[in-house]
A and B are shown apart, each in its own frame.
Chain A
Amino acid sequence: MTAYFYSPIAYVVITIFIIISGYFFFNIMSYYNFVVFSVGMRANEMGSQLNVVELILKPLYSNLAIVLLLIVPLLTMRLLSEEKKQGTAELLFTYPIRDGEMIMGKFGACLAVYAIMLATTFVFPIMINFFGFIEWGPVFSSYLGLLLMGSSFISVGILLSSTTENQIVAAIGTFGILMILWVIDASERFVAPGLAVVLKDLSVIAHFDNFAKGVIDTRDLIFYLNFSFLFIFLTLRSIESKKWRGA
């Protein structure tokens, strides 16, 4: 669909600086992580190489998940806010594309950028492969999990971006919502059992754990897909509501 081609070019060009900066940050962090674990583990468990590898990659990806939670809002903040601020939204809405196509285009473009960013971390497993031996299963499922998780983050980001002209507000809002959804399962112990189950299941990052282990649980899959759809749906409604109010 033409809408998908809605300018990944533009976004790559503009957000590449964000990616680079974000990536450097996480690259360093991850590498450090990697080195620490390598050195630490190797000394003790020379026999169980598999274990070592698991122990490096799993925390790596989990840490990645957290770093991504911080970075994705930066990627998404300008998606719709910038359009409104610059006035280009006026042109965009008068083009012969449906709102849905436009949102999916932006979402897709952002996802593509995110995927590229993720792909750059693929060097790590490859490097490790030279030294030891990797179970590619968990690696791939981790990437799948990260991708799905990322799409959820992006969908929240795009919703927040649609509500305001101010990019910073959009970024902070996204960040706030993601944080809450991340830690929401921590209150599991302190509330009534019924609510606890619900809360536990709401955490965006908790659903990633299975992927990191190499398990692709359909519950997690569905969670992420539903989550993304929900927020995209809300974004569409938000845009519509603004149109009617004349904002």
Chain B
Amino acid sequence: MIQAENLTKFFGQTQAISNVSFSAAKGEILGFLGPNGAGKTTTMRLLSCFMPPTSGKARVAGYCVMNDSLEVRKRLGYLPENAPLYTHMTTRNYLHFVSEVKGIPAHERSRKVECVIGDCGLQEVSGRIIGVLSKGYRQRVGIAQALLNDPEVLILDEPTAGLDPKQIIEIRDLIKNLAGNRTIILSTHILPEVSMVCNRVIIINDGIIVAKDTPDNLMDQLQKNTRIYLQVDGPKQKIFEQLGNIKGVDKVVNKESTNDSVFSFMVESKGDLDIRNAIAQKIVENRWGLLEIRAVNMTLEDIFIKLVTTESE
């Protein structure tokens, strides 16, 4: 559905993206992750035919973005950052207008507009002027206008930027429901969102793709060791020593404690050795109180920071 090959874009002398290549299959939700200024929006603009690449090729919905731009746009729904809408029109009028511009035949327009209003939960605000809508609703109108022509590909640039937590959840659910047969690309720098919504993730930094994979695979690859978090009731120093003595333990780190008798530790071991059993046994042997024991996985945040900071060195 989407194939990008060595996309490069220069703005004057500044290089925004360099040799970006990736693909997305039908029905996939692809997440584009990266710090601000990494090139996410530029890539999206190239794919949506807003600007031409300096070099490289891209095919969206089977057509080339340079040569068959019109065909691409007929099958595309795009929501730019900050949902730029015509604020003086009412929601319904705006959607009617967009449906006209998108070439939807006159007899189908009303039906599609109502359909999209329903899908995006805009019934309450359909008669209101867009200028007075809250940001959450505006984003929804933005997604609604992108959906009018039943696009095969949806490109959403930071769809949850600036929304409050409740609105974020609503938009996320909306996006998940939209997938079906469509391919969706969304860009964000809210990491948990990516793991929750996307099938695959592309991390981009400074115009270069740094990682391309499913969130789980990435976590597996980059997590070189297992970490166990413990809360134990007992003498701090002794626990520290004993933990260090367990076979397979790489290092033990003291963490903050909530009170004088309960101490927290982070125990790291190589690979995916599960030493929880050994730890539990050791603690029970010594008759200390084992209050909490859990495996701590590397979050996407950690992976992101790791990838992004090592690359820039």
Q: Chain A residues in contact with chain B, CB under 8 A?
A: 2-3, 5-7, 9-10, 13-14, 86-88, 90-98, 243-246
Complex contact A95–B88 (CB within 8 A): no
Complex contact A93–B88 (CB within 8 A): no
Distance between B12 CB and nearest chain A CB, rounded to angstroms = 8
Map CB proximity to A onto B16-57 as digits: 1 under 8 Å, 0 otherwise. Answer: 000000000000000000000000000001001111100000
Q: A86-B84, A246-B51 are in contact. Are A2 and B101 (CB under 8 A)?
A: yes
Among A2, A3, A9, A246, which residue has its beta carbon within 8 angstroms of that of B9? Answer: A246
Query: Which residues of chain B (79-121) have a CB below 8 Å from chain A?
Result: 80-82, 84-86, 88-89, 93, 97-98, 100-103
Chain B interface size band reads 20 to 34
Complex contact B70–A96 (CB within 8 A): yes
Map CB proximity to A onto B127-161 as digits: 1 under 8 Å, 0 otherwise. Answer: 00000000000000000010001000000000000
Complex contact B84–A94 (CB within 8 A): no
Summed over the interface, the residue pairs from A and B with CB atoms below 8 Å come to a total of 71
Q: A2-B100, A243-B52 are in contact. Are A96 and B84 (CB under 8 A)?
A: no
Among B51, B93, B145, which residue has its beta carbon within 8 angstroms of that of A243? Answer: B51
Among A6, A7, A93, A245, which residue has its beta carbon within 8 angstroms of that of B50? Answer: A93
Can you sample 5 A-B contacts with CB below 8 Å? A86-B84, A88-B84, A90-B80, A93-B49, A244-B52
Among B9, B11, B45, B52, which residue has its beta carbon within 8 angstroms of that of A90? Answer: B45
- Report whether over half of chain A's contact residues are helix, strand or loop; otherwise say mixed: helix
Using CB atoms, name the residue of chain B closest to A2: B100
Among B9, B52, B97, which residue has its beta carbon within 8 angstroms of that of A7? Answer: B97
Complex contact B51–A88 (CB within 8 A): no
Q: A14-B88, A243-B51, A246-B51 are in contact. Are A91 and B97 (CB under 8 A)?
A: no
- CB-CB under 8 A from A14, the residues of chain B are 88
Q: Once the chains are docked, how many angstroms separate the CA of A244 from the CA of B53? A: 8
Q: Once the chains are docked, how many angstroms separate the CA of A26 from the CA of B163? A: 48
Q: Once the chains are docked, how many angstroms separate the CA of A88 from the CA of B76? A: 17
- CB-CB under 8 A from A90, the residues of chain B are 45, 50, 78, 80, 84
| Any A CB within 8 A of the CB of B73 | yes
| Any A CB within 8 A of the CB of B172 | no
Q: Once the chains are docked, how many angstroms separate the CA of A161 from the CA of B280? A: 73
Complex contact A96–B103 (CB within 8 A): yes
Using CB atoms, name the residue of chain A closest to B76: A94
Q: Once the chains are docked, how many angstroms separate the CA of A136 from the CA of B76? A: 53
Distance between A190 CB and nearest chain B CB, rounded to angstroms = 43
Q: A87-B84, A88-B84, A88-B85 are in contact. Are A94 and B101 (CB under 8 A)?
A: no
Complex contact A246–B73 (CB within 8 A): no
Using CB atoms, name the residue of chain B closest to A240: B52
- CB-CB under 8 A from B50, the residues of chain A are 90, 93-94, 243
Distance between B184 CB and nearest chain A CB, rounded to angstroms = 16
Complex contact A6–B88 (CB within 8 A): no
Complex contact B51–A96 (CB within 8 A): no
Distance between A9 CB and nearest chain B CB, rounded to angstroms = 7
Interface centre among B11, B101, B102 (most CB of A within 10 A): B101
Question: Beyond A9-B89, A93-B50: 8 further Cβ-contacts under 8 Å?
Answer: A3-B101, A10-B97, A87-B81, A90-B78, A90-B80, A91-B84, A92-B101, A94-B78
Distance between A109 CB and nearest chain B CB, rounded to angstroms = 12
- CB-CB under 8 A from A2, the residues of chain B are 100-101, 103
Complex contact A96–B74 (CB within 8 A): yes
Distance between B175 CB and nearest chain A CB, rounded to angstroms = 19
- CB-CB under 8 A from B76, the residues of chain A are 94
Q: Once the chains are docked, how many angstroms separate the CA of A86 from the CA of B80? A: 12
Query: Which residues of chain B (2-16) have a CB below 8 Å from chain A?
Result: 9-12
Complex contact A96–B88 (CB within 8 A): no
Q: A13-B88, A90-B45, A90-B50 are in contact. Are A95 and B80 (CB under 8 A)?
A: no
- CB-CB under 8 A from B49, the residues of chain A are 93-94
Distance between A111 CB and nearest chain B CB, rounded to angstroms = 19
- CB-CB under 8 A from A5, the residues of chain B are 100
Q: Once the chains are docked, how many angstroms separate the CA of A45 from the CA of B89? A: 55
Complex contact B103–A246 (CB within 8 A): no
Query: Which residues of chain B (204-228) have a CB below 8 Å from chain A?
Result: none
